Amino acid sequence: MSAFSTQNENGVCLITFDLPGEPVNKLTAAVRVELEALLIRLKEDSAARAVVLISGKPDNFIAGADIEEFTALTSQDAAERLSFEGQETVSRVETSHKPIVAAIHGACLGGGLELALACHYRIATDHPKTQLGLPEVQLGLIPGAGGCQRLPRLIGARAALDMILTGRSERAAKALRLGLVDEVVPRSILRQVAVAAADRLARNGLPRRSGKGGMAGMILDRTSAGRRLVYRGARKQVLQKTGGHYPAPLAALEAVRVGLEQGVTAGLAEEHRAFGELAVGDVSRKLVQIFFATTALKKDDGVPPGSATPRQIRRLGIVGSGFMGAGIAGTAVLNVEVDTRLKDSDLTRVGKGLKAADRMLAERLKKRRLTRPQYQRLSALLSGSADFSGFNRADLVIEAVFEDLDTKRKVLAEVEERVRPDTIFATNTSTIPIRHIAEYARRPERVLGMHFFSPVERMPLLEVIPSPATSPDTIVTAVRFGRRMGKTVIVVADRPGFWVNRILSPYLNEAGHLLQEGVPIDVIDRTMTSFGFPVGPVALLDEIGLDVAEKAGNVMHAAFGERMKPAGALGRMLGATRLGRKNGRGFYQYRQGHKAGVDKSVYPLLGVRPAEADPQLVQRRLVYSMLNEAATACSENVVRSPRDADIGAIFGIGFPAFRGGPLRMIDDLGASRVVETLYHLQEQFGERFRPAAALLEMSRRSGRYYPA
């Protein structure tokens, strides 16, 4: 079956791309061959003076290259060739004597945008699904089909690097401002406008585009001295953001630089060379695995397929309009557009929560991600009260009140009294077992945990926690709702700390031990940011709140005994009413809400004197405490699969993606090496480092978490 069909409209050949049997268009090798043959035929077709390329998919122009093809690559040569062939196809589009117009509706990403860039004119719809971008660096790759050459030539070096090095995609309005597209139109007239534009180009010749960016653009983008500044700035920014762990952005920068300074031919050569090197490299392999894992999770409802029926959630009730309640409300309204009612114990608190949720919407308005009418419509979905009025219509109630078992049980009882029998009750507890909260529930099959992370709007993970009594329908409904909220959802077991806080706990405790030994705070944090975490464990404690962290630490200690015993540092901090960022006093100082360096008065408070420490050993202690607990929890089936475990660690804690997650890391090191290191640590620092039984077993039979 053919991916392209053609049709002649008044001398314009309309090519419709509709890859058979796929939800989105991908530029597979077969598609490229077909497109090239089509271009050759068109050259001879005297009835067509111009061409329009449009998609036959409902909300997708071209999603990009076929990532499966990347994973099949076994050598650098083969990867380089793939990139080179892509460049050739795209060049044939550009050198077509008949003008080609790209009519873009829906995602136009990666190779899709590279193809569109080679067209002679681009028209995009104003629909929110229309997104243009080069996300290759997010897979550890670079745009390898001419994107590093054509984008900077079209929109200038600065704007192009901004898109390529972050992998961020842009909506149509912004794309128009950047000069990335020539016109933006409503979807209903895309095709007509594109045909008319193609006809116009055939008659009047190609458009002349003026450079964007005014005087600064003139100097920075169009002189080589100016561009040198741009490259230097971009490089610095990349290194700051990636800590040097991700080679792709730097390689993309180089491909852009070579192209602009030495010409397109040299640029293309550098581009396919670097693509080949990166595609078979370890970082890209890891990032591609994560991409596949998250894609698979999007189709995973947490129950065997067909075993449960999801319910529609039209109305959401939230009890507790504090920090988390408000964050959940704002995120639900923004992403699911669901009618949301907030309840708290008095109207002042309700008002505060509503305002915080509304601020999230207003933020989007300010950034022009929402129009004013859209903002008003969404804002009207938020309401609140100090009683349960309206809850009788809720399909799902999420509870985010204080972390206290009795309070949570009481709220559950109050809610059950007022809602329909089929309403689902989800608790956002971070430590209390769901089955304890549900112990006196009238309908325990409708109760489960939905553990969001803070801040809700930015943290991509959601843990869904069924108790043994939760029904499959309830699970699938919660999973799907979380997904609609934009979260990657893992279903985890009802054990203390669930998955994420379970593996975080020994890690934060180890930071406490290090603090009590007088290891300087900045040494502790720097070893972990250089390992690849976005923040170090001490800074993280400040973010979580030392009161919250202590409480959670005690729960974990009670559940798992000696190996999870906190070091006592937090107690001393709390004794001096240091709560972390939230009251502006923690391990760090805060000025106007901004972190302002380590607070040295902490050391006497802890009764220590900061002393030199071996950063390597500090890092090993922190990392291995987490790896060891991950192995134990995994063997207790806290997670369903290594995939869920690693995704949870990466999205919930910020475990460095280029390392693939804690279990992937154990595989890479080899269980026996991990065991050996743990034995050393156990000798020096005690029983908490005793290797997990699961690791010993794995090392005995040379086992792995993932197939080799």
Closer Cβ to ligand NAI, 402 or 679, answer by number: 402
Binding mask 473-502 for ligand NAI (x = CB under 6 A): ------------------------------
Q: Is 605 left (phi over 0), alpha (psi -120 to 50) or beta?
A: alpha
Which residue of 428, 477, 488, 632 would you call a contact of ligand NAI, by CB under 6 A?
428
Stretch that binds ligand NAI, among 358-366, 448-456, 575-583, 664-672 (CB under 6 A): 448-456
Total chain residues near ligand NAI (CB under 6 A): 23
Contact 258, 266 (CB under 8 A): yes
Closer Cβ to ligand NAI, 173 or 405, answer by number: 405
Q: Is 205 left (phi over 0), alpha (psi -120 to 50) or beta?
A: left
Binding mask 394-413 for ligand NAI (x = CB under 6 A): ------xxxx---x---x--
Residue with tokens 């699961």: 694
Specify the DSSP element, H or E, that contains 184: strand 183-185
Q: How far is the CB of 452 from ligand NAI (least distance, A)?
A: 6
| Position 429 contacts ligand NAI (CB under 6 A) | yes
Which residue of 454, 530, 635, 672 would you call a contact of ligand NAI, by CB under 6 A?
454
Stretch that binds ligand NAI, among 68-76, 256-264, 308-316, 424-432 (CB under 6 A): 424-432
Q: Is 463 a catalytic residue?
A: yes
Contact 525, 536 (CB under 8 A): yes
Count CB-CB contacts under 10 A for residue 369.
15
Closer Cβ to ligand NAI, 165 or 504, answer by number: 504
Q: How far is the CB of 534 from ligand NAI (least distance, A)?
A: 16
Closer Cβ to ligand NAI, 39 or 326, answer by number: 326
- Compute CA distances 642 → 631, 638, 639, 700, whole Å: 10, 10, 7, 19
Closer Cβ to ligand NAI, 325 or 660, answer by number: 325
Q: What are phi and psi of 469, to 5 degrees?
A: -90, -10
427, β-bridge pairs:
399, 449
Closer Cβ to ligand NAI, 456 or 623, answer by number: 456
Question: Which residues have C-beta within 8 Å of that of residue 455, sequence separation ≥ 6?
Answer: 327
Q: How far is the CB of 85 from ligand NAI (least distance, A)?
A: 48
CA distance 429 to 451: 6
Q: Which of 114, 254, 399, 463 is catalytic?
A: 463
Q: Degrees (nearest 5) of the Cα angle 328, 332, 338?
A: 135
Q: How far is the CB of 385 from ligand NAI (least distance, A)?
A: 11
CA distance 537 to 505: 10
Closer Cβ to ligand NAI, 387 or 614, answer by number: 387
Checking 334-338 for CB contacts under 8 A at 24+ apart, the result is 334/360, 334/361, 334/364, 334/378, 334/457, 335/484, 335/485, 335/486, 336/481, 336/484, 336/485, 337/378, 337/381, 338/313, 338/314, 338/381
Q: What are phi and psi of 123, to 5 degrees?
A: -125, 130
26, β-bridge pairs:
64
Q: Degrees (nearest 5) of the Cα angle 294, 300, 302?
A: 125
Stretch that binds ligand NAI, among 52-60, 206-214, 452-460, 655-663 (CB under 6 A): 452-460
What are the helix (H) ranges across 465-536? 472-484, 500-516, 521-531
Which residue of 55, 321, 331, 628 would you call a contact of ligand NAI, by CB under 6 A?
321
Closer Cβ to ligand NAI, 221 or 344, answer by number: 344
Stretch that binds ligand NAI, among 175-183, 340-348, 361-369, 648-656 (CB under 6 A): 340-348
Least Cα distance to 616 among 534, 681, 661, 554 occurs for 681
Question: Which residues have C-beta within 8 Å of that of residue 623, sequence separation ≥ 6?
Answer: 531
CA distance 657 to 531: 11
SS3 of 9-38: the string is ECCEEEEEECCCCCCCCEECHHHHHHHHHH
Closer Cβ to ligand NAI, 127 or 557, answer by number: 557
Q: Is 654 left (phi over 0), alpha (psi -120 to 50) or beta?
A: left
Which residue of 80, 114, 270, 344 would you call a contact of ligand NAI, by CB under 6 A?
344
Which residue of 320, 520, 536, 660 would you call a contact of ligand NAI, by CB under 6 A?
320
Binding mask 353-392 for ligand NAI (x = CB under 6 A): ----------------------------------------
| Position 463 contacts ligand NAI (CB under 6 A) | no
| Position 349 contacts ligand NAI (CB under 6 A) | yes
Q: How far is the CB of 317 from ligand NAI (least distance, A)?
A: 11
Residue nearest to ligand NAI (CB): 322
Q: How far is the CB of 486 from ligand NAI (least distance, A)?
A: 17
CA distance 615 to 374: 51
Which residue of 108, 274, 324, 564 would you call a contact of ligand NAI, by CB under 6 A?
324
CA 685 to chain centre: 36
Site for ligand NAI in 251-280 (CB under 6 A): none
Stretch that binds ligand NAI, among 17-25, 32-40, 313-321, 695-703 (CB under 6 A): 313-321
Closer Cβ to ligand NAI, 377 or 582, answer by number: 582
Closer Cβ to ligand NAI, 535 or 608, answer by number: 535
Task: Dump strand ranges (E) for 344-404.
Answer: 382-385, 396-399
Q: At what angle do helices 615-635 and 642-653 cross, to 10 degrees?
A: 130
Q: How far is the CB of 537 from ligand NAI (least distance, A)?
A: 15
Site for ligand NAI in 133-172 (CB under 6 A): none
CA distance 70 to 599: 48
| Position 60 contacts ligand NAI (CB under 6 A) | no
Which residue of 83, 131, 430, 625 would you call a contact of ligand NAI, by CB under 6 A?
430
Closer Cβ to ligand NAI, 587 or 705, answer by number: 587
Site for ligand NAI in 550-579 (CB under 6 A): none
The full length of the chain comes to 708
Which residue of 5, 345, 392, 637 would you call a contact of ligand NAI, by CB under 6 A?
345
CA distance 279 to 74: 9
Q: How far is the CB of 561 from ligand NAI (least distance, A)?
A: 22
Identify residue 63 by its one-letter amino acid code.
A
CA atoms within 13 A on the CB side of 551: 13
Q: How far is the CB of 692 from ligand NAI (least distance, A)?
A: 26
Stretch that binds ligand NAI, among 26-34, 167-175, 321-329, 598-606 (CB under 6 A): 321-329
Which residue of 178, 220, 278, 319 would you call a contact of ligand NAI, by CB under 6 A?
319
Q: How far is the CB of 404 from ligand NAI (least distance, A)?
A: 8
Q: What are phi and psi of 147, to 5 degrees?
A: -60, -35
Closer Cβ to ligand NAI, 164 or 462, answer by number: 462
| Position 323 contacts ligand NAI (CB under 6 A) | yes
Upstream peptide bond of 20 is cis (omega within 30 degrees of 0):
no
Hey, which residues are catalytic here? 463
Using CB under 6 A, list all residues that contact ligand NAI: 319-325, 343-345, 349, 400-403, 407, 411, 428-430, 452-454
